[in-house]
Amino acid sequence: MRLDRRLSELAFGTRKEVQAMIRQGLVMVNGQTVRDPGQHTEDADSLAVRGVPVDTRRIRHVLLNKPAGILTAARDRKQPTVMDLLPQVYSTLACMPVGRLDKDTTGLLLFTSDGELNHRLLSPQRHVDKTYRATVDADLTQEDTVRFSEGLDLGDFVAESAELVLEGPRTGRVTIHEGKFHQVKRMFEAVGKQVLELDRLSFGPLTLPGDLPRGAWRELTRKEIESLYRQVGMEEPV
């Protein structure tokens, strides 16, 4: 790929801006200053801008502790989205949310630039578990746990069996094995309760790190990445 396109894809600026940087001698390829924006580069070439090495990986995986009040969408004309909480490079590398959390839902939101991985993690056939902590407006009962485990008819679909563990009078931890629109809220509605707060604690093999504040993000560790690919029976691309 041309050097200017590569740097632009890595969010160093528009094509014009990176061309100007290259002509000014601010860019090195494999330790040599290059002044031709059209110079061909290979994936394995090392790049540096203003003497700082560039992270050239195209595939990235990010975990965000989503705060309330932010839309899960690639972009929106009026409201802030989860993409606004990440550095620009993740948008340019199409590192996209895996599924959605409602605007008022908090907690673990995964992003990946591997489209196939994203697709498989959401595929209904794969039954990737998601666990949430829900706070509701009335006391939870053992009967609710039984009804969750039996599956719930939500009108347009029947929610599969889910585990509800009571944690407090009005707090429960629920694990679902599918991911339909507003599913957890609708399941509680079906047993006569309204969800007041919903926080996702885990997604497949990933759990929300206790030391990651709301609104903060980090890239997945090597172990976490391997566990995700294993979960969906996929080889990690090199």
The answer to whether the beta carbons of residues 38 and 2 sit under 8 Å apart is yes
Q: Which of 45, 102, 104, 129 is catalytic?
A: 102
Residue 193 interacts with ligand URA (CB under 6 A): yes or no:
no
Segment contacting ligand URA (CB under 6 A): 4-12, 161-169, 180-188, 212-220?
Answer: 180-188
Residue 185 interacts with ligand URA (CB under 6 A): yes or no:
yes
Nearest to 228 by CA among 82, 116, 147: 116
Gap between the Cα atoms of 113 and 58, Å rounded: 8
- Mask of contacts with ligand URA, 54-93, x by CB under 6 A? ----------------------------------------
Query: Beta-carbon neighbour count of residue 26 at 10 Å?
Result: 17
Gap between the Cα atoms of 118 and 112, Å rounded: 6
- Six-digit token string for 91: 């948008």
Segment contacting ligand URA (CB under 6 A): 10-18, 45-53, 89-97, 183-191?
Answer: 183-191
Nearest distance in Å: CB 205, ligand URA: 18
- Six-digit token string for 5: 């396109």
Nearest distance in Å: CB 202, ligand URA: 13
String of DSSP letters for 114-150 = -HHHHHHHH-GGG---EEEEEEESS---HHHHHHHHH
Total number of residues that touch ligand URA (CB under 6 A) = 8
Gap between the Cα atoms of 79 and 95, Å rounded: 19
Residue 105 interacts with ligand URA (CB under 6 A): yes or no:
yes
Nearest distance in Å: CB 188, ligand URA: 8
Active site residue 102: yes
Residue 29 interacts with ligand URA (CB under 6 A): yes or no:
no
Gap between the Cα atoms of 138 and 136, Å rounded: 6
State the catalytic residues.
102
Q: In the complex, which residues of this chain contact ligand URA (CB under 6 A)?
A: 101-102, 105, 182-185, 198
